Amino acid sequence: MKCRHCQTELQQVFLDLGHAPPSNAYLSEPALRAPEVTFPLKLRVCDVCWLVQTEDYTEADALFSGDYAYFSSTSQGWLAHAKAYCEKITKLLQLSRDSFVIEVASNDGYLLKNFVAAGIPCLGIEPTDSTADAAESIGVPVLREFFGEATATKLAASGRRADLICGNNVYAHVPDINDFTTGLRIALKPGGTVNLEFPHLKNLIEQNQFDTVYHEHFSYLSLITVSRIFEQAGLRIFDLEQLPTHGGSLRIYGCHQDDARPATAAVAAMIAEEKAFGLQDIAVYQAFQARADKVKNDFLAFLIEQKRAGKSVAAYGAAAKGNTLMNYAGLKHDLISFVCDAAPSKQNKFMPGSHMPIHHPSELARQKPDWVVILPWNIAAEVMQQHQQIRSWGGQFVIAVPEVKVLA
């Protein structure tokens, strides 16, 4: 397999999590009696451009044939994050009724609705019908396509280049990152700004976040690598912020290469920090598997200990992270009795691979488990605050990543 960015033959494995079903392949009850398809879940790292990427395999298209869609508006924390971003960037770029904003992967309109409310013209790019329908129903215009060079060229040809193109949590999920980045350059107005947010590879390694790996998450990104991809596409990064979202993300500010804005000190500082951490040192990548294995084994040991002590364990959050952790650990419902989730689209279904039943969060009060494992550890504070009632029967919260830890 060749690197998706620089075409170098990939020699180095970063992480091998065995086989797993697609993380969004939730099962209905009848499907439990049928065979289940799994795919290799392995990451490789390019030792030239340092792009960490999922390994290619045949029948990748099968991943996206599911009818499940994630609705961003389900998370209150994510809605607040989007609103705060819109207010900040509107001020910073002095966006007005004369501006034009494009959001790539606009989902259900959770972000662009803020621009609509402010009277700033905008367009969402979103190929998934169910979420695009939801966005249009609240007045957010949507172009139902995948974003890349072809879509960007059409937008530019029709005079619809943007003052701001934003993509929160989409960059790591695009299969052809070069095509996507070229699209950004084409769809951007001269003097315009690109904002992308993506989980930072440095945090993934430092915080043992191996459960953020899943098939649809194609790229695991450092500033070193993204700078290189931007430059090849005719863009450059002139500023960045570090965000707490998704276990530590970068929000980068990009512009055309000939833009007048100089790069801030934050850009050079982060490149230096990544180099000092070893993101250009193959040994740092080679050491990660053992760290992921330790977290997985410690978590298994915790669950077995609780089982032997006669304690019951449930989990909260039927999302991709939980699927990766449970499938890599080989968990079945003997060690975790059920998972609860606030999203109605997941309730009464079963987790792919582990086949754990997914219930409404009210099941916690009914079954009164001794332990609740919060699978999406990045929103642990929000989950704990909403489900404080488990304390009334002596229940406790625990997370598995970056290490098994009881939350006070």
The number of residues in the chain equals: 408
Residue given tokens 């960045």 in the structure block: 240
Instruction: Pick the closer one to Zn ion by CB: 213 or 229.
Output: 229
Q: Which residues contact 305 (CB under 8 A, 6 or more apart)?
A: none
Candidates 51-59, 70-78, 161-169, 377-385; binding stretch for Zn ion (CB under 5 A): 51-59
Instruction: Pick the closer one to Zn ion by CB: 145 or 176.
Output: 176
Under the criterion CB under 5 A, does residue 224 sit at the interface with Zn ion?
no
- In whole angstroms, give the CA distance from residue 267 to residue 280: 17
Instruction: Pick the closer one to Zn ion by CB: 1 or 92.
Output: 1
- In whole angstroms, give the CA distance from residue 374 to residue 396: 10
Please list every residue from 5 through 34 that binds Zn ion, using CB under 5 A: 5-6, 8
Instruction: Pick the closer one to Zn ion by CB: 14 or 253.
Output: 14
Q: Where are the beta strands (DSSP E) in 244-316?
A: 249-256, 313-316
Under the criterion CB under 5 A, does residue 3 sit at the interface with Zn ion?
yes
Q: Which amino acid is at 94?
A: Q
Residue 118 CA to its chain's centroid (Å): 27
Q: Which residues contact 265 (CB under 8 A, 6 or more apart)?
A: none
Under the criterion CB under 5 A, does residue 177 sit at the interface with Zn ion?
no
Instruction: Pick the closer one to Zn ion by CB: 49 or 390.
Output: 49
Instruction: Pick the closer one to Zn ion by CB: 6 or 143.
Output: 6
Residue 243 near residue 253, CB atoms below 8 Å: no
To Zn ion, the closest distance from the beta carbon of 45 in angstroms equals 9
Burial class for 137, CB neighbours closer than 10 Å (0-12, 13-18, 19+): exposed
Under the criterion CB under 5 A, does residue 46 sit at the interface with Zn ion?
yes
Candidates 1-9, 74-82, 138-146, 172-180; binding stretch for Zn ion (CB under 5 A): 1-9
Under the criterion CB under 5 A, does residue 174 sit at the interface with Zn ion?
no
Which of 15, 20, 43, 49 is the binder for Zn ion (CB under 5 A)? 49
Candidates 41-49, 75-83, 272-280, 282-290; binding stretch for Zn ion (CB under 5 A): 41-49
Q: Where are the beta strands (DSSP E) in 148-225?
A: 162-168, 188-199, 219-220
Footprint on this chain of Zn ion (rule: CB under 5 A): 3, 5-6, 8, 46, 48-49, 51
